[in-house]
Amino acid sequence: MTFALIITAAGSSQRMGGTLKKEYLPLDPHGDGSVSVLSQVLYSFLSAGTFQPVVITIPPGGAEEAATVLARDHRLHEFDIFPRGIHFTEGGASRQASVLRGMEAVSVHGSPDAVLIHDGARPWITPRLIRLVCDDCIAHGASVPGMTPVDTQKEIDGTGTIVRHLQRDRLVSVQTPQAFLFLPLLDAHRKAATDGEAYTDDTAIWSRYAGSVHVCSGEHSNKKITWPGDIG
């Protein structure tokens, strides 16, 4: 199967409290600054295998800045696909809208069998997990890595009162990359764009319009950068 890759990096990073997007921050604050959060994400995927096309969603007017950030990481120049095989597309007002724009951008360059969608703020993704999700998608048509929560989970109402005691061994905290057959996901996203609902990730869209999603084992290290303390 052929896989495309969409990396979502169109958000504003407001919770980081700075002026620079979190995806563009140096991953090693004590290094030379050449390896950024985003460049490490891309390096991990290029190390894992061949993904064509590679589409990165960015803020409006941000293609030049994103390209500059990636070009600083000399490791990326070892791959034939870089830089001309990396395509930037402006994201939308939400993650859902950004992914749809990324999917439409992928379709311009062909129709891969499947697509991987990954948060640009998860730089510690490993090639091993990438390959595992790809294999799981081949087997099931849709795959997401997940981890069983460490803490006991409860459901509460609007007043803060517990209304349901959840079974931890039946729960997972999902990560990215999430992998899906391409054409069914594109069709599902187009339908979701007009149904008036808001979806926080692509598994919810797939579940509503395409089918079931299989969960494979995620990795504790595959964390998403959200707050300033998450780096360094």
Output b/e per residue, 148-173; b: 16+ Cβ within 10 A: eeeeeeeeeeeeeeeeeeeeeeeebe
Average pLDDT over residues 87-115: 96
How far is the C-alpha of 229 from the C-alpha of 97, rounded, in Å?
A: 28
| Residue (of 23, 4, 1) closest to 12 by Cα position | 23
**What pLDDT, on a 0 to 100 scale, did the predictor assign at position 16?**
57
Give one DSSP letter per residue of 66-105, joined into a string.
HHHHHHT-GGGGGSTTTTTTEEEEE--SSHHHHHHHHHHH
Find residue 5's DSSP bridge partners. Answer: 54, 116
Q: DSSP secondary-structure letter at 197?
A: -
Q: What is the mean pLDDT of residues 156-184?
A: 96
Residue range 185-198: mean pLDDT, rounded: 97
Q: What is the pLDDT of residue 106?
A: 98
Closest to 8 measured CA to CA, from 96, 118, 103, 90: 118
Mean pLDDT, to the nearest integer, of 136-151? Answer: 96
- State the Cα angle at 118 between 123 and 64, rounded to 5°: 75
Q: Name all domains of the chain by residue range, CATH numbers in brackets.
A: 3-224 (3.90.550.10)
Mean pLDDT across the stretch 53-65? 96
For the segment 77-87, the average pLDDT, to the nearest whole number, is 96
- pTM score above 0.75: yes
